[in-house]
Amino acid sequence: MDHPESVPSLVDEAVVENHDRALAVVQRLLRQHGIRAHRHHTISLGLVADRAAQWPDQPPVKSSIERHPPVLSVRGLHGWPGVTVTIGERSGCYLVSVGNGTAVEMVRRDQPEKVLGVILAKRRQL
């Protein structure tokens, strides 16, 4: 099973775009119900100086880019815990976790409206 609380793996740009589109659908549904949500993208940039490069055709600095899957965050209102929505790395399902993420609900990718339902139900319970 996919676990959103684990360290996010590195993914390529196509996966980031795919996940971002799926999370944008949920974000629009939430906005229609007056719930604000934010998509977060994590990119790690690395620079390494190559002091041995003395020739004009060798760059003195090498760079790397690492991308992580995007996350949709819904802030808690009036004290209810926030909600995090991610896309499962292997399953491709929406993974909805409330608060500290100990309980994760999986929702099929073709049912974004159910993610909205899960969030609204959790909100009413708290």
Q: Where are the chain's structural domains? A: 13-54+69-125
Residue 102 has pLDDT above 80, yes or no: no
Q: What is the pTM of this model?
A: 0.78
Measured in whole angstroms, the distance separating CA 116 from the mean position of its chain's CA atoms is 16
Burial of 43 (0-12, 13-18, 19+ CB in 10 A): exposed
Residue 60 has pLDDT above 60, yes or no: yes
